[in-house]
Amino acid sequence: MAGALDLQDFLLRARVLKLYRQALRISRRAPVDSKCELRQIIRQEMDNNRTCRDKQRIRFLISDGLERLKRLDETLDMQGR
């Protein structure tokens, strides 16, 4: 990141990092045989969108990520994890 972030960029970045941390925490509950793959997928999703600068798209990606994370969490709950 070159240069200083304005407040809106800073807040968006904080939301992205929070989502990433939540995803990694939830991935700990995944079955052992799929945990590594799940973490790779999470990392790949973040890397794929690393260069995105469109604030509206970033907000959409955060929203989509939260929905996907919620579904994963519910699935793991149903499995008793």
Banded model confidence at residue 2, pLDDT cuts 50, 70, 90: low
pLDDT in tens, 19-29: 999 999 999 99
CB 49 within 8 A of CB 61: yes
Average pLDDT, the chain: 94
**Tens of pLDDT, residues 34-48:** 999 999 999 999 999
| Burial class (CB within 10 angstroms; exposed 0-12, middle 13-18, buried 19+) of 45 | middle
What is the spatial distance between Cα 20 and Cα 69, in angstroms, rounded to a whole number? 10
